[in-house]
């Protein structure tokens, strides 16, 4: 089994003015993230606007990312589709390309029963071979997505169907702790955080986590890398120093999330000097003037720290 952990950004997709994929811009973002010490790249996450792409466009994005990464870090690929057939098509493509592991949420449209959800993950798992498969729970940030109960996650893990979860919610008491406390073998399970609030909860509980897949990693990756390394080193003083900056990045998303997040990330990267456009796929919204002020205020606040990495 390929070992994957650490901070893994759900990379954005730069677009040209006509909303076609900006290959050069995507390559620039890949390098920008890797140069700041991220542990991998998460292709086709929600931040990529994958839900507004056809399969061919998704495959093109993954091909560009894989070519630009050049084996420097592992690549996780999102298989989230509206059917098992489409997810398997993406999985086969990723396997042929040499992708390191896969992430998938529940196929959308009808509200599936647990038995149907379990069968979906079983089929994906069988086709993953030795590569890890992670469940993707994001129903709190994308309300149209059906929820994955923590009991089902435990069942899927105990039966060796999945290898962990990318959890984007913020429910510590009623989701995260019951999940972690009731796993039969915690060493077999990787917990990837997607919410800054949960990082704070891990800090308060004096616990380590396996990694993170945060939208904010696209903008200020070194903050997230720094706090992850501080957790691994059990450096409480460094965690306390980093955490306020992490929470401030998370707070900006709170004002626009989820539909405004792609625009927020692109506008911030432009403010940091990256030569990409602010175009997002229709019908996603652009930022409002007040939100630009929040971005500039945070960049100014971080300007005297090691966390601002202007593009050159």
Q: Could you list the pLDDT tens digit for every one of the 312 residues in the chain? A: 577 999 999 999 999 999 999 999 999 999 999 999 999 999 999 999 999 999 999 999 999 999 999 999 999 999 999 999 999 999 999 999 999 999 999 988 888 999 999 999 999 999 999 999 999 999 888 887 788 999 999 999 999 999 999 999 999 999 999 999 999 999 989 999 999 999 999 999 999 999 999 999 999 999 999 999 999 999 999 999 999 999 999 999 988 878 999 999 999 999 999 999 999 999 999 998 888 999 999 999 998 898 988 887
The pLDDT of residue 1:
58
37 inside domain: yes
194 inside domain: yes
Task: Look at the block and give the residue holding tokens 């606007």.
Answer: 49
154 inside domain: yes
The pLDDT of residue 257:
74
Sheet containing 75-78: order of strands: 6-7, 211-212, 190-193, 164-167, 133-137, 101-104, 75-78, 41-43
Nearest in space to 40 (alpha carbons), one of 1, 12, 11: 11
CA distance 61 to 270: 20
Which domain, by its residues, includes 202? 6-254
246 inside domain: yes
Residue 7 host element (H or E): strand 6-7
For the chain, the domain total comes to 1
Q: What CATH number did the domain enclosing 217 receive?
A: 3.20.20.70
95 inside domain: yes
HSE-up (13 A, CA, CB side) for residue 83? 4
The pLDDT of residue 64:
98
The pLDDT of residue 142:
82
**Which residues contact residue 274 at a Cβ distance below 8 angstroms, ignoring those fewer than 6 apart?**
25, 28, 29, 32, 311
67 inside domain: yes
- Tell me the angle at which helices 236-254 and 289-302 cross, rounded to the nearest 10 degrees: 160
**Which neighbouring-strand residues pair with 104?**
135
279 inside domain: no
263 inside domain: no
The pLDDT of residue 22:
98
């Amino acid at each position: 089994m390929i070992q994957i952990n650490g901070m893994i950004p759900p990379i954005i997709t730069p677009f040209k003015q006509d909303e076609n994929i900006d290959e050069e811009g995507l390559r620039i973002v890949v390098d920008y993230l890797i140069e700041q010490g991220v542990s991998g790249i998460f292709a086709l996450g929600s931040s990529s606007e994958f839900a507004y792409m056809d399969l061919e466009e998704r495959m093109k994005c993954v091909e560009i990312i894989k070519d630009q990464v050049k084996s420097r870090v592992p690549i996780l690929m999102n298989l989230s589709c509206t059917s098992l057939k489409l997810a398997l098509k993406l999985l086969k493509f990723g396997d042929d390309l040499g992708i390191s592991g896969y992430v998938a949420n529940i196929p959308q449209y009808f509200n599936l029963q647990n038995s149907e959800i379990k069968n979906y993950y079983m089929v994906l798992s069988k086709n993953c071979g030795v590569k890890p498969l992670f469940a993707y729970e994001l129903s709190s940030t994308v309300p149209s997505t059906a929820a994955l109960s923590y009991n089902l996650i435990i069942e899927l893990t105990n039966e060796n169907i999945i290898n962990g979860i990318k959890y984007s919610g913020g429910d510590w008491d009623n989701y995260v702790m019951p999940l972690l406390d009731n796993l039969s073998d915690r060493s077999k399970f990787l917990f990837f955080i997607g919410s800054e609030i949960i990082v704070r909860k891990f800090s308060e509980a004096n616990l380590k986590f396996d990694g993170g897949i945060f939208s904010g990693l696209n903008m200020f990756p070194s903050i997230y890398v720094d706090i992850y390394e501080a957790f691994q080193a059990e450096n409480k003083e460094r965690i306390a120093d980093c955490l306020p900056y992490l929470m401030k990045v998370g707070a900006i998303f709170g004002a626009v999330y989820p539909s405004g997040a792609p625009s927020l990330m692109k506008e911030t990267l432009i403010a940091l000097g990256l030569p990409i456009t602010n175009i997002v796929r229709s019908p996603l919204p652009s930022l409002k003037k007040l939100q630009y002020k929040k971005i500039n205020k945070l960049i100014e606040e971080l300007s005297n720290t090691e966390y601002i990495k202007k593009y050159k």
